[in-house]
Each structure stands twice: as C-alpha cells, then as structure tokens.
Structure 1
Amino acid sequence: MQYLEKNEIKTIQLGILDYIDEICKKNNISYFLSYGTMLGAVRHKGMIPWDDDIDISLYREDYERLLKAIEEDQHPIYQVLSYDTSSWYFHNFAAILDTSTVIEDNVKYKRHDTSLFIDVFPIDQFSDLSIIDKSYKYVALRQLAYIKKERAVHGDSKIKDFLRLCTWYPLRLVNPRYFFKKIDQLVKNSMTENPTYEGAVGVGKEKMKEVFPAGTFKELILTEFEGRMLPIPKNYDAFLTQMYGDYMTPPSKEMQEWYSHSIKAYRKIEK
C-alpha cells in the first residue's frame, strides 16, 4: 500500500464530497456542510487546517434518498457504510467511503479496517425532548456491548468494576446495531406534523447542544469551501454559536492538537 500525505488525504476527501454534491444535484437532494466543516467554511473558507474530516447533514427523508441514490449508482470506488450495509458498523449515521483507500485511525476505536470517508448525519424533527435522554441511554449500552473486556474495567473501584462487568457480560449477547435501530425507531415514533425541535439524535456527546428549533436548517445558502460553492444553513450563526461559542476565534495550539484526528491513510495498490 502507498502511504498518503495529508494533502493527498484532503484531495481524496474532497473527491468524495464532490461526488456527493453531484449525486445530490442529480436527484434534487438538499444537504449542507455540518459541524466542523461548516465552521471551516465560515471561518477559513475551507477545511479547518488542523482538522482532517468532513461532515454533512440532511433531513431524514433526504438522508435516506441520498444513501439509496449512491447504492443505486454502483460507483466502483464510492460506497455507503451504514448498519444496513455492514455487519460490523455500529452507528446510526452513515459514511461515504473511498474504497480505494485504507485508514488507521488512532482516535476512533474500530475492530475493522475502513477507508477514507465523509460522515453523513440525519436530521430528525420532533416535539418530545425526552427522546434525547432515552437515545443516549441506548448509546451508552451500545458502547458497552461493543468494547473489549479490558475497556469495560476502569480500575477505580473493585465494586464498580464488578458491576460494570455484570452489565457488560449480558450485553455481549446483543448485536450493537440493535441499540441504534432502537434510536431510529424512537425518533420515527416521535415525529409529528408540527415539530418543535430538530437535530441529530444520539450521534454526538453534546445531548441538548445538538437540539435546535424546528426549521433551523431549512433555508440554505452557498458559501465558499475549498474553491467550491457549497450549501450551509442561512442560520449558520445560531448553529455554530450553540455548538462552539465564540466560533470565529481559533482555539489555542494545544487545543488544535487535541482536536486533530491524526488519521494515517494508504492507497491500495492493485496487483
């Protein structure tokens, strides 16, 4: 395999983004740059220099249409990774892969090799805020079901470790995908005609930080991103302020290093 430099990784990720943008335009699907990618577009007109991933979000209906359109396109390199397409992927959001690559990610814990990717997050609308706490309980159970035994034991207390293992052993019998399917079912059962809130449910660690008034992401504008004009919410300031506070002020050098995912990636070489 051929080691990829940081600028090569960026080029490949932007290639995935260009492909997604093409598919969305072809199928009249609305998406927008999200999380740190939205922040990068607003503050840097591109990727955050010390970050190395790209995130997009879509309302649930468009999210499902995008995944279906990519699967039907049958591209030789770009493929969907989700709990419906993989027996080992245990998240309730999808990723679009460049399968000509392999990555080693020293931040995210994985049992399987994967490829360079873009994360794709569904935005759901709802009125019952109790689904937020319920969804994060499923997230916690999923994490316990997936981790190895040594990670379930913290070493802070023999009694606490014993109780953790008492929970961990029976959870090992449950497929971790079960918990994220429960989250999706929870959200779909909470949908109403006139929702009060919207956000990505059970995908991050921020809980209520991820919840916004319904319609926050509805109206989109185009902004510059790595030489392209790509969509972000017109109300981007509300999202970025809620998520990051004073988002136009870059973090310290120490925090920049902490935020970096430090991905090592390789290009597969055909024999």
Structure 2
Amino acid sequence: MRPIPSEEIQPLLLGVLRAFARYCNAHGLRYFLDYGTLLGAVRHKGFIPWDDDVDVSMLRDDYKQLLALAHESPYLDTEKKYRILLPAELPNFYPFVKVVDESTLAYEKNIKREYALGIWLDVFCLVHCPDDAQASAQLFSQHHRYKKMNELVVCGNAVGSRQKILYPFASAAGAALRLVGRDSEHWAQRMIGLVEGAPSTGDAVGQLSWPDCFETDVFPSSWWDDVVELEFEGERFTVPRAYHEVLQKHYGDYMELPPEKDRVRHDFEAYYRGERTA
C-alpha cells in the first residue's frame, strides 16, 4: 500500500461527501453538514485547513431510512468505491453510520489497527430528547459511560507519550471487559439502544450517536426544520437553516480561529489500498 500525502486527504473526503449527497438526493433523504464540516462551510467556504474528516447529521426518520437502504445494498455507487458501514458493523465499532472510501485505509491513533477503515464520513443521528432537562442530561451521561467503555476495549496503536504510559492499564482493563463479553459490539449496541429508545416527539433534539456533552449537543427541534445550501469547496451542500445558532451552541464565537494547540486533527496513517485510480 502507498501512503496518502496529507494534501490528498481533503480531496478524497470531498469525494465521499459528494457521493453521499448525491445518494441522499436520489433517495429523498435530508442531511445536514454539521460540526467541523458545517463550521468550515461558514467560516472557510470549505474544509477547515487542518480538518481530516467529514461530519453530517440526519434526523431519525431519514437516518432509519438510510439504514434500511444500506441493509439492501451498502454501496453508494455502481463502482462500489463508497460503502455505508452500519453501526457496530465491524470493523466499524462506532454506534453510528460511517461512509468510507474503500480504495483507502486509515489507522486511527490510539485504536487497534484491526479496526482500520477507509477514509470516512461520519453520519450522526438527531433524536428527540426528554422534555425534562435533567432526564436528558442523565441520558447523555449514560452514553458517555458506554462511550468510555467502548474506547477501552478497542484501545491500541498508542500515539504520544501520555497514551503510551496509560496504554498498559487501558489495555488490561479492555481485556478484562472482553473476557466477560463486554466487547466493542456490546457497548456499541448499548449506545444504539439509547438512540432507539429516545422519544418520538419533543421540543428538543440531540445528537445522541456520539455526543460531546449535553450542553453543546441538544437544540430546539425547530432549528432543524428547514435546510438551506451553503458553498463548500466550490460546491453546494445542505445545512440547517439555523446554522448560525447551531454553530454558536457547538463552539461559541465560532468565527474566531482557535489557538494552534487546539486545532485538532485525527492524525491517522492513511494509505491507498492498491493502485490509485482517478
């Protein structure tokens, strides 16, 4: 396999996003650019310069339809280059959909190399939250515990001095969990269960697939009622009409560039699986 130069990562990601958007449009599915990808569209009219993945969100009805379509056929395209990986469909140990470029392979830092995927697009599910704020906060707290357990059982490929110091302890804890059947699929299914058990209606929606925290990932439902298009790398993709409010909730003063130390990237090792094709 040949290493992928860093300057080729974002064009490859754009290819995944373009294929996903085309697929959603063909099947009447609504999607929203979200997180760093939405921020990039607003602040940079494209990728954040240091970003190396793509984030989109979908409301639960569209997300469920995407899952149903993927069960019938996992590919976005007739060439079978772009594949939908279902939640907890190994090597995708995450509890949400990933769309991958199967001509590539990326080894994430601090995750066992056996879980390597193609360069990816994350698809997060927005679900209604309990009307009681305390109940919603508890739901997110429960998800956070499952998330940490999942991270323990897949830890490996330690990068950085701190991770290398902690790795023997995390690895031992992960091995103990796997020994009693608490493997990555177990924890992913627990998180999927939280999404599936969420209320069907309500005044608030939250990203409960892989949230950061209750304070930044719960929104008024009305913010996601309508879409508009924004430019992203010279093309146009759909975003929530209330994108300004969404970004403020995620990041606060989102137009201000963060300090260099906070410009986070995944820093994966990326390779072309075989001969590169155009």
* TM-score, normalization by structure 1: 0.84
Distance 1:84 1:142 in 2: 11
Alignment correspondent of 1:221: 228
The answer to whether the 8 Å contact 1:136/1:202 transfers is no
* Conserved 8 A contact 1:32-1:231: yes
**Does residue 143 of structure 1 match 2:151?**
yes
Does the CA contact (< 8 Å) of 2:153 and 2:174 recur in 1? no
Asked if the contact 2:52/2:266 (under 8 Å) is kept, the reply is yes
Are 2:98 and 1:95 aligned? Answer: yes
Separation in structure 2 between the aligned mates of residue 73 and residue 188 of structure 1, nearest angstrom: 21
Match of 1:85, SS state, is coil
Instruction: Please tell me whether residue 72 in structure 1 is matched to residue 73 in structure 2.
Output: yes
Contact 2:152/2:173 (8 A) holds in 1: no
Partner of 1:36 in structure 2?
36
Q: In structure 2, what residue type is equivalent to 1:19?
A: A
5 Å-filtered alignment, 1:177-256, equals 177-193=185-201, 195-201=202-208, 203-256=210-263
User: Is residue 2:89 matched to residue 1:85?
Assistant: yes
Alignment partner of 1:118 is 2:121:
yes
Closer/same/farther in 2, CA of residues 81 and 196 from structure 1, 3 Å limit: same
Partners of 1:228 and 1:2 lie apart in 2 by: 29
Alpha-carbon distance in 2 for matches of 1:227, 1:78: 21
In the TM superposition, residue 145 of structure 1 has moved relative to its aligned partner by 3.5
Compared CA separation, residues 252 and 103, structure 1 to 2 (3 A): same
Task: Specify whether residues 190 and 197 from structure 1 end up closer, same or farther in structure 2 by C-alpha distance, changes over 3 A only.
Answer: same
Unaligned 5+ segments in structure 2 are none
Checking the alignment, whether the CA contact within 8 Å between 1:31 and 1:58 is kept in structure 2 is yes
**Can you give the 5+ residue segments of structure 1 that lack an aligned partner in the other structure?**
156-160
Give 3-state SS (helix, strand or coil) of 1:216's partner: helix
**Deviations for 1:188-242, whole angstroms, at most 9, x for unmatched residues?**
333143x132111151332331111223222111011001111111111111111
User: In structure 2, do the counterparts of structure 1 residues 184 and 25 end up closer, same or farther at CA, with 3 Å as the change threshold?
Assistant: same
8 Å Cα contact 1:152/1:168 also seen in 2: no
1:152-193 per-position Cα deviation (integer Å, ceiling 9, x unaligned) = 9959xxxxx7xx968962454223222222222233333143
Q: Describe the shift of the 1:107–1:170 C-alpha distance in structure 2 as closer, same or farther (beyond 3 A).
A: closer
* Displacement over 6 Å in runs of 4+: 150-153, 164-168
- Please name the residue that 1:45 is paired with: 45
What is the count of residue pairs matched by the alignment?
260
Q: What is the letter of the counterpart of residue 139 of structure 2?
A: I
> Given residue 42 of structure 1, which amino acid in structure 2 is its aligned partner?
V
Shift of 1:12: 1.4
